[in-house]
Amino acid sequence: MSKFLSSLERQRRSVLMIAALTIVVLVGVIDYFTGYEISLSIFYLAPIALAAWYIGRRFAWVVSAFSVITWLIGDLAAGATYTTHFVPIWNVVIALAVYLVVVEALSNLRTLQSQLEGKVRERTADLTEEMRKREAAEKELLAAGEQERRRIGQDLHDSLCQHLTATAMAGQVVVEKLIARAMPEEADARRVVTLVEDSISLARSLARGLAPVELEAEGLMAAFLDLSQTTTSHFNIDCRFEAPHPVLIDDSLTSTHLFRIAQEAVSNAIKHGRARRVTIRLLQEGDDIVLEVHDDGSGFREPSPNGQGMGLHIMRHRAAMIGATLAIEPSTPGTLLRCRLRGDHEEKEAA
């Protein structure tokens, strides 16, 4: 590849060199036909500038000398006469000096531009590497955060829920003993058992929220179904999950990000849009995976500049972390959120 580029560069330089010399000859021919009384020496600056900028200082010197010689020959051929030999020599020296000053100025300017472009490329490479490291660190932090949430959720399920279950069973034994003795405290004890059972439900709900997606490929679909059922129960709205065909995702981190995006979208639809109907869809379109959250709320509003709207920024950040695109647009009625995960996202992350 480098040899091919070098060959192209040599060809480009050859074409430019031929073009510069050709322009000198054309200007010389025009200078001859217009006569020596009309000076066209300024037009020789075009091929000189071309040579100095695109080829190099040495070739620009050659073009400058060739331009002066061509200009002098043209004037002499057109019939120019001089009182002494000093006059044409002086004219040639002055013209050549002007051309060389232009060559030096353009060559120095070109060198400065090349140095600036090199610094820009280096800075761009540094920024690109810094952004890559930052994205990698953000992914690690998010992965660590999700792993810690999953651990806490597992601990809640394995320890607190089991402890509360044992407490409820012990309380139920007390209730049965009070019933057997016809004690008036039976109602209070039953109330305590009911509160403990409510605590068990709450702890399990918290555990599911902290670790919503199982590691299996179908875990995301199960998590969305549970999210829709929980939302319907807690907020007394119609929340549904639709998946015309099974969508399997082996990467648990990707599944977790998609779940969190849907969770935040559902929360925004209820809190800000006051929606009464929310539909979560998980679709397979070719190699792409598409997540849609549609609600019938009051519509989407851009976040205010006073720091509100953090949920939208987090959703977009999560989508970027997995190489997905996220779009929010008005619908009839309500709002439609669409997150598209390209089929080649794994290759992009590996790269």
pLDDT of residue 182: 78
pLDDT band with cut points at 50, 70 and 90 for residue 146: low
Q: What's the pLDDT at 312?
A: 83
Query: What strands lie across the sheet with 324-330, from one edge to the other?
Result: 238-242, 277-285, 288-295, 335-341, 324-330
Neighbouring CB atoms inside 10 A of 247's CB total: 20
Query: Could you give the 3-state DSSP secondary structure of residue 333?
Result: coil
User: What is the C-alpha separation between 192 and 168, in angstroms, rounded?
Assistant: 8
CATH fold for domain 213-351: Heat Shock Protein 90 (3.30.565)
Residue 330 has pLDDT above 70, yes or no: yes
Confidence (pLDDT) at 307: 47
Confidence of residue 174 (pLDDT cuts 50, 70, 90): confident
CA distance 282 to 185: 52
Percent of the chain with pLDDT over 90: 34
List Cβ neighbours of 42 (8 Å cut-off, separation of 6 or more).
Answer: none
Q: Is the pLDDT of residue 310 over 80?
A: no
Q: Read off the amino acid at residue 177.
A: K
Residues 6+ apart with CB under 8 A from 299: 273, 330, 333, 334, 335
> pLDDT-based confidence at 197, cuts 50/70/90?
confident
Which one, of 213, 273, 221, 260, lies nearest residue 242 by Cα?
Answer: 221
- Can you tell me the mean pLDDT for 144-158? 70
Nearest to 259, CA basis, from 209, 311, 295, 216: 209
Of 103-112, 266-275, 280-289, which range is least confident? 266-275
Q: Is the pLDDT of residue 81 over 70?
A: yes
Residue corresponding to tokens 């995006």: 261
pLDDT in tens, 232-264: 988 889 999 999 888 888 887 888 889 889 989
Q: Rounded to the nearest 5 degrees, what angle is found at the Cα of 349, between the Cα atoms of 268 and 286?
A: 70
Q: Cα 35 vs. chain centroid, distance in angstroms?
A: 63
Span 71-87, average pLDDT: 86
pLDDT band at 165 (very low <50, low <70, confident <90, very high): confident
Tokens standing for 20?
């510069």
What average pLDDT score do residues 118-140 get?
A: 86
**What percentage of the chain carries pLDDT values higher than 70?**
86
pLDDT for res 59? 93
* Signed CA dihedral, 174, 180, 181, 187: sign only: positive
Residue 351's pLDDT is 47
| Domain map (residue ranges) of the chain | 2-131, 213-351
More confident residue, 160 or 56: 56
What tens digit of pLDDT does each residue of 10-45 get? 888 899 999 999 999 999 999 888 888 888 888 999
109-116: average pLDDT: 92
- pLDDT at position 65, please? 94
Average pLDDT, rounded, for the chain:
83
The pLDDT-based confidence of 7 (bands split at 50, 70, 90) is: confident
pTM value is: 0.52
What pLDDT is attached to residue 345? 56
Enumerate the β-bridge partners of residue 281: 242, 292
pLDDT of the residue at 301: 59
